[in-house]
Structure 1
């Protein structure tokens, strides 16, 4: 790989200090004071929306996470050790940390913790003197969070997003720690493993990625085993596969529309064990059995497209961002589980794309903004309408889910073209190499 291939016009990494003075009509939007003012304003709005109680967006935090934290502290339960846990075991870290100031302050502490993590990732993205690409990605992220609404801060997924953003950005300058951070995020919520898998396919230094992931995972597992976890440490795998059809999953649309149109035989119910709303009707048992194998096949198909492109000379800078986004979208689209917070997953790959090549990524980024806005309309404000399968809410959810499919197909087409004759290795941008690129796992 050319030493310029994973650099960007204006690298957001602080180590690359030489950035030309801001110019242009909107130059002031690149000023750190303005960027951080936007960050504070957006997070203040989101915290206010969460604390307002409208639609109870903090339901999982106040009802589920707090219960887990208190049960763990009291010794009544050891999730992931003595008791099956729906999440990987490191999810307990932010859940327990939010109890630092007591149960009455739990929700506010959680929101503060996520805001701090977002702030650290925002700082890594923008650096001391952000360039145009980094500033644009930062403003897009703030807009995405604002359009997505309170759920952007109020779920365990909100902890993983800034970790993944930092991990992806560090792959260029701190490759080892970038891979480790992605591995840690995977042990909080599974979806960041998509970044590990995409790197294994896109980068020729895949063994370094696998070594970082294996070493981090081994350390976590060994610590859990010393506490007596046994195979319970992997219970999050079976907890997910045993789920039914969640109402926000794209596959649930078939039954939601039957209910919305008054066709009998479909029921939306609350699963007391998984703590989610699911749908049941004619054919749902078959769908439950089919969706997990189908997900595996679709992930394999996306990886095959990525491998084809890599083998035909596609450079890692062109291949990695669309492959990562395609994998993340596959985990959302071809899944029997669906939740509003899944939209937060899109932030990391799209920020990576916007930093790497703004011109080729602004259109997918705009589609994601629309998806975020539609998600907030459904949850938390009119979620009762969705539970009642009112046609308007089912239509909005269907539109959001169709956009997920559109974006997935878009990325699949990009991957196919990257592996087509004549695509060539190519270089997205031409710029001075980012600091530390010579030792990056993305260097080929």
Structure 2
């Protein structure tokens, strides 16, 4: 099959998946599924994001500028952009915005040469999007994913552009900071990334300050710190099982302050409180493993993909929040792994697909059963959370093995071995 034929097939599947998921989000006539039906797949967009924008336009205060907000300040950009065609088309405009960004990332992914690895990564991403379902397009995270994909794909040749994109994405939703950390550890161009990120952050901070929002520039940190334990967070599994088994000591409730479902039960506030520092310690531990591998001479092509995956999964696994859209965070590091490492990334790619399928089983269609602590749904969610742990384990082992191989090669070949491996990694990165 020619490169052109492969490209046509990929783009056809991309359009089919995005149109189908958009149709589900906006409403499937006669099914009771859609924007105002089962699970509210587009609920955050049309019922929360749109309301924030309408209140701001009505003079009732801009989130993150006139008061604390759950998101960083740059999240205002896509929220206001979705109002371009008016409030009656807010949901549709949002879906078109996400689709355009995803199309841009797909174009960068395929590149001019459309190598087999890049085509395979594109097919995997499309399959993952379909497996995860409408939540792939219907949250603020959907804006950051294509930015992170583009950044990782261009980081070898254009580190400053990568740093700018990742900083912008982080100021929309914090999770891309994990990818920045992985690049800073693994890449010799780390200072280009850091400087570009700092400049981007400074520009955003100046804009927020000029708008009068300096007091709330980091308000999202306090907002997240005040959250309880969300039902889909891995740490909430114990409380869900207590509720599912009818112990009476645990229950699910809706937080009107944070607009999400959380659990209550024995010592739940303590568990929620310690998860943030535990997450920081866990991320530091993973970063240390990556640093040791790099110090031993492991090339960036072997370290960066699994290290980025490990740090991202750590944020997902040790978190008081476990929203289904978090699963989209897996896309960027897995895509990079397939492009750079090919079949060596088959295991995490398949595990990530399984995680997406299990998440889709829970949300949006059967979410109501989870809210009633149905044992079947609690079991599915528990297995999904265990999938995170398996992914993290695989990624950590991959980083550590890269360090051991590099150390062994240097011991056998002498001090120049590390240099040759680094040269090889740059060559392989540029080729793919």
User: What TM-score, normalized to structure 2?
Assistant: 0.92
> Which of 162, 176, 179 is the matching residue for 2:163?
179
In the TM superposition, residue 231 of structure 1 has moved relative to its aligned partner by 2.6
Between the two proteins, the alignment pairs up a number of residues equal to 411
> Which of 174, 192, 195 is the matching residue for 1:208?
192
SS at match of 1:380: coil
Q: Which residue of 2 aligns with 1:38?
A: 13
For 1:433 and 1:319, how far apart are their aligned partners in 2? 12
- Give per-residue Cα distances to partners, 1:237-265, cap 9 Å, x unaligned: 11111111000000000100011111111
Structure 1 residues 217 and 100: CA distance shift in structure 2, 3 A: same
For 1:325 and 1:366, how far apart are their aligned partners in 2? 14
User: What TM-score, normalized to structure 1?
Assistant: 0.89
Q: Which residue of 2 aligns with 1:256?
A: 240
More helix by share: 2
For 1:383 and 1:433, how far apart are their aligned partners in 2? 42
Mark the runs of 5 or more structure 2 residues left unpaired by the alignment: 28-33, 411-417
> Which of 315, 333, 347 is the matching residue for 1:349?
333
1:310 aligns with 2:294: yes
- Give per-residue Cα distances to partners, 1:392-434, cap 9 Å, x unaligned: 0000000000010011011111122222242655478796773
SS at match of 1:408: helix
1:66 aligns with 2:41: no
| Kept in 2: contact 1:31–1:129 (CA 8 A) | no
In the TM superposition, residue 205 of structure 1 has moved relative to its aligned partner by 2.8
Q: Which residue of 2 aligns with 1:189?
A: 173
Structure 1 residues 393 and 423: CA distance shift in structure 2, 3 A: farther
Q: Which residue of 1 aligns with 2:102?
A: 118
SS at match of 1:31: helix
Q: Which residue of 2 aligns with 1:422?
A: 408
For 1:290 and 1:430, how far apart are their aligned partners in 2? 40
SS at match of 2:65: coil
Structure 1 residues 295-304 or 419-428, which shifts more? 419-428
1:434 aligns with 2:430: yes
| Kept in 2: contact 1:30–1:132 (CA 8 A) | no
Structure 1 residues 417-426 or 378-387, which shifts more? 417-426
SS at match of 1:199: helix
- Note the 1:16-415 alignment, pairs <5 A: 22=1, 31-52=6-27, 53=34, 54-415=38-399
| Kept in 2: contact 1:58–1:107 (CA 8 A) | yes
- Give per-residue Cα distances to partners, 1:200-226, cap 9 Å, x unaligned: 111233222211111110111011111
Structure 1 residues 409-418 or 111-120, which shifts more? 409-418
For 1:322 and 1:133, how far apart are their aligned partners in 2? 17
SS at match of 2:39: coil
SS at match of 2:263: strand
For 2:360 and 2:40, how far apart are their aligned partners in 1? 13
| Kept in 2: contact 1:326–1:412 (CA 8 A) | yes
- Give per-residue Cα distances to partners, 1:264-314, cap 9 Å, x unaligned: 111101110111100010020210121111001000100110111111111
- Give per-residue Cα distances to partners, 1:71-99, cap 9 Å, x unaligned: 12222111111111100111111111111
For 2:5 and 2:391, how far apart are their aligned partners in 1? 29
| Kept in 2: contact 1:314–1:423 (CA 8 A) | no
Structure 1 residues 152 and 176: CA distance shift in structure 2, 3 A: same
CA RMSD of aligned residues (A): 1.8
| Kept in 1: contact 2:301–2:429 (CA 8 A) | no
| Kept in 2: contact 1:81–1:233 (CA 8 A) | yes
In the TM superposition, residue 172 of structure 1 has moved relative to its aligned partner by 2.2
SS at match of 1:419: helix
Q: Which residue of 2 aligns with 1:19?
A: none
In the TM superposition, residue 173 of structure 1 has moved relative to its aligned partner by 2.6
| Kept in 2: contact 1:30–1:130 (CA 8 A) | no
SS at match of 1:269: strand
| Kept in 1: contact 2:362–2:381 (CA 8 A) | yes
| Kept in 2: contact 1:58–1:154 (CA 8 A) | yes
For 2:75 and 2:274, how far apart are their aligned partners in 1? 28
Structure 1 residues 270 and 433: CA distance shift in structure 2, 3 A: closer
Structure 1 residues 268-277 or 206-215, which shifts more? 206-215
In the TM superposition, residue 31 of structure 1 has moved relative to its aligned partner by 2.3
